[in-house]
Each structure stands twice: as structure tokens, then as C-alpha cells.
A and B are shown apart, each in its own frame.
Chain A
Amino acid sequence: MITFEGVTKRYPGGTVALDDVSLECPTGRITVFVGTSGGGKTTALRTINRMVEPTSGRVLIDGEDVREKRPAELRRGIGYVIQHAGLFPHRTIEDNIATVPYLLGWNKKKARERALELMERVGLDRTMAKRYPFQLSGGQQQRVGVARALAADPPVMLMDEPFSAVDPVVRAELQDEFLRLQDELHKTIVFVTHDIDEAIKLGDKIAVFQTGGKLVQVDSPEDLLAHPADDFVAGFIGQNRGIRTLSFATTSGLRLSDDAVRPGSAAAADAAGLDWVLVVDDERRPLGWTRPAGVEGTLAEARLDPVGATFRVGADSVRVALDAAVLSPAGLAVGVDGDGAVVGTAAGTDLLAVPTHGSSGPEDDG
């Protein structure tokens, strides 16, 4: 666990970057520092590995004051990932990843073996080992950055806007893989971002910083969305926090209807009473939507509209299901199981009837 005890950072000019911050970042969890620029979130992160020394207060890792170790020694035990990866341009990918093992005096063979193992872990092809950073895309460089931070298997990882400089598609990919990785590794992670969506997606716990280095709220993503502490937090979370709350509602208890689901071999006339029908194949995989009215013969002969987005029952949130419903021509979200077979459909209004963790009170601070 990382503990901040009344940490204040005041610069000689009088600027206060951190104002009496007290906070706990639980072991094995992702704590996200989020806030406006100038809010002190990066400063707070850097007090952990002593790249910033607090004016007063102290930072402890598992009860031990970080000032008890020499900075270089402390830092070799803490993974660090930054925005533009900060890879060493003059070192190959494997040597970049093996940086900390080399500093710790591992022999070259063992360090490189570890690097190759990590490349696989973060989804990089082993053939890239001998390349130089400039030969990789931004997303690949960021993966190397993550692998480098993991190389000596540090229990603590600090991540300073690691995914901000890549395009949205790659960012979502990196976030998903990061969560998958964390599921296996259970590191104690402090993650800085200015993107509230990223904070909600990744954080087990979110700490909101306000300009002037004040910590205004520390909560789980659900509670943060449901009960913002003040106008600043509510404003920072943005307009869509109602919809965002649905991200935490599970689709596992959802009642799905089978009424509109028909195999392609069924006669169109049998479904004539329905506005829309979801046509499925022999394994119940969705083929497309169609209006049965006026169609001769079987449904398979009808003109099909694409199914579009589906949601995985149990695995995806209500927000994903609602998105699928809105985008579906029939206004119905298609729920599928792990094999992609249709479980049933749900209308948008059914989805909103699901109780969400955050909808307990009518309070609205905005």
C-alpha cells in the first residue's frame, strides 16, 4: 500500500503544487489520479519515487518512508511508464526492456530472456527484439514502455498519462490489454490521467485533484459518478454521468426475450405479426435484422439489415447493451453468449429498468 500523509509541495516562488494530500493507494489495485492540468496529480505521482521531494508530509510504501532508501535504489524497485514512452533511442527494444535488470546487475543472457518473455506478455512479436524504438509505431513503443517498467517485476508501478499520446483506437486496445495484464499481475498501480473516461475504465479507486494541488475526492468510480463531492467534481465528470453510471451495471440479470429471434429456415409468414425479426443460423449466430411483412418464402430469402453491435451477456455492461439497442434498426439490443450465439434481445427501456449501483439517490449537484 502507498500512503500519503499530509503531503505538501511548495515551490520557492510560492506556487503550491500539492496541498496537504492524504491518501491511500491499496496494494494490488489501480488508483487513478485525475484532475485538471496544474492540479498536482503528476507531482503527487513523483513524490512516490522521489523525483519530487515534498516540502512537508511523507509518502510511505508498505509502511516504509520512501526517504529511507537512496533515490536510485528506490526507483529500481518501482516501474515507471510515461506519456511518450521515453524509450532510449540508442538501445534496441530488448535492451530498453532490460534496462532495470541491467542496472540491478543481472547477467545479459538472463536480462534478455526476461525481455523476450515480457515482449510476448505485452503483445509484441519477438522479432522486434533487435529493432530500435523509432522503427515502432506509437502504440508499440508504449507497449515497450510497459514491458520496461515490468522488467524487474516491481510490486509498484507509476504510470503518467501512458496512453494519452496514441490515437483513440490504439488507446482503447492498450487500456484493455493493460487491464488483462493487471488481472494476472496484481501490481499496486498509481495511474495519472486527465481523461475521466480513462479513469473510470481503469480505476479501482479514483482521486480527483483540483488546481492548487487539493485532493477533493477519493472514491470508487461508481461512487464518484453517483455522489460527486462538489461542483468541481461534478463538472469534471461531465454531462453524461448518468449514462456513465450504466458502465457499472451488469447485464447478467437481464431478462432477454426470444420472441423476435427466428432461424433462417422459418417461413416469413409465421412472423408476419412482428415489426422486426432477428434471423439466426443453425448455431443461433445472428445473421441480420429483417421486416417479415410482405416477404415470400423463408426468412433466409429476405433482405437482411446488418446486426451491428451486440453485447455479451454477463460480460458487457448495460451501457454497452444500451449502445447496441440505440444503434440497432429494430431498437433491440442483441445479447450473445461467449460463442457468439444469440441469447435473446432486449429493448432500450428494459435495459434502463436494471437497478444500478449508483442510482440510489435523486441528488443532483449540477
Chain B
Amino acid sequence: MDIDWAWIGDHRDTLTEHALIHLRLALLPVVFGLLISLPLGVLCRRWGWLYPPTLTIANVLYAIPSLALFMIFIQYTGLTASTVMIPLTLYSLSVLVPNVVDGLASVSEPVRQAATAMGFGPLRRLLRVELPIAVPIVIAGTRVAAVSSISLVAVGQLIGQGGLGYDIIRGYQLQFQTQIVAATVLIVLLALITDALLVTLQRVLTPWARARGRAA
């Protein structure tokens, strides 16, 4: 395989630009996914009967091919970034909702009872005790959602919104391997860096969980 290093050097700016677009297209859906999953997970935890149907819907959504979802949303949002980001947001739910529910379930019964008995009201208990304790598990889910979203974005190039996906398709059309390889390597790098940043974030936010890991 011949890599045209000079081409990469010449196109550093475009590649960087595509990488940033790529990141935005991939990560905004994860943020939206979290904003939807947190209240949804809290509701599922409070009313247990809500959880099975919610999870089924999230999984069914995940099973719909992205191309089909693009075709559906293109009627409403056209060839815009939203048409890529809405399906990715929906996909993230199948990972994030169960993680929020599991995270809240990881709060032990004595801790929940102690909080109640100390005089935390339900909302304060959720915000100060239950959600903070759920953070490690929620971040673990966020890592999976973020990495899969970064790899999925490339498909968005089918409707002209793919970030580095552009370079993969363009390289294929021109039979120019360098562009394909450069874009692929960048996508993997973005995924690795994002994952590393999330791990760091978790360590900073939850020193108590990191220390628990060390002691175990």
C-alpha cells in the first residue's frame, strides 16, 4: 500500500476541519442522548413497569438501519446535520438508558434509606446522592455510545454530512488509498482520544470509585 505523505501534508487543514465536523456530528447526539436518558432512566427506575417497554423501543430503534432512518428524517430536516444527528441520538439511547437505570440501581438500599432518614427529600436525594453514585456506570455507557457514534457518523456522508466520511467516499471514488487510510486512522484516533478523555473525566469526578477499584 502506497501512502502519499505529501498529499496528507498538503491537506492537513481540510482533514482537521473534517475531523472537527466529524466530532461535532458524533458527540452532540451523545450529549442529547444523555439529556434524554437521564430523566427517562430516573422514571424507569421509579416506575419499574416503564422500563421493559422503554428498553424494547430503544433496542428496536437501534435495529433500524441508519440509511432507513436518514430517508425518514430527510423528509423533515432535509440534507442537514440534523438528519444525521437525530438517528445517532436515538441509537445512543439503547446504551445510555440501561446504564442510567443500572447506575441508579447501584445505590445500595442502606444508602438510600440512610439518605431518607437523614432528611433528604426525594428530589434532593436524587440529585445529591443517587445520581452522583450512578456517575461511574453512566460514564461507562457514555464511552460506548461516544465511540460507536464516532464510527457511525461516516455513514452520514450518504446524505452529504459525514465529516471524515467524505474523505473515505471521495478516496474510493478516486481510487486514492491515501485519503481513505488517513480518514480511517483519524476516525480511530478521535475515538481513542474521546474515550481517554471520558476515562479522565470519570477519575476526576469520582475519586471514590477510582480508589475503590484500587482497593479491590
Contacts and interface: CB of A to CB of B under 8 A. Distances in A.
A272 interface: no
A103 B110 CA distance: 19
Contacts of A100: 118-119
B208 interface: yes
21 contacts: A71-B119, A72-B120, A72-B121, A74-B119, A82-B114, A82-B117, A83-B110, A84-B110, A85-B114, A86-B111, A86-B114, A87-B111, A87-B114, A88-B114, A89-B208, A90-B129, A90-B135, A100-B118, A100-B119, A103-B118, A145-B114
Nearest to B133: A90
Contacts of A148: 118
Given A83-B110, A84-B108, A103-B120, 19 more contacts: A51-B113, A51-B116, A75-B116, A82-B113, A82-B117, A86-B111, A88-B111, A89-B212, A90-B133, A90-B135, A90-B206, A90-B209, A100-B118, A103-B119, A132-B208, A134-B208, A134-B212, A135-B215, A148-B118
Contacts, number: 76
A103 B115 CA distance: 11
A106 B135 CA distance: 27
Interface string A60-78: 0000000000011111101
B119 A89 contact: no
Contact of A80 (B118, B135, B206, B211): B118
Contact of B211 (A72, A73, A87, A134): A134
A304 B101 CA distance: 67
A49 B117 CA distance: 7
B14 to A, nearest CB: 45
| Chain B interface, >50% SS class | helix
A317 B117 CA distance: 37
B117 A51 contact: yes
Nearest to B129: A88
Interface residues on B, range: 20 to 34
A91 B118 CA distance: 15
Interface in B108-139: 108, 110-111, 113-121, 124, 129, 132-133, 135
B109 to A, nearest CB: 8
Contacts of B209: 89-90
Interface in A115-145: 132-135, 145
B207 interface: yes
Nearest to A96: B114
Interface in A16-62: 49, 51
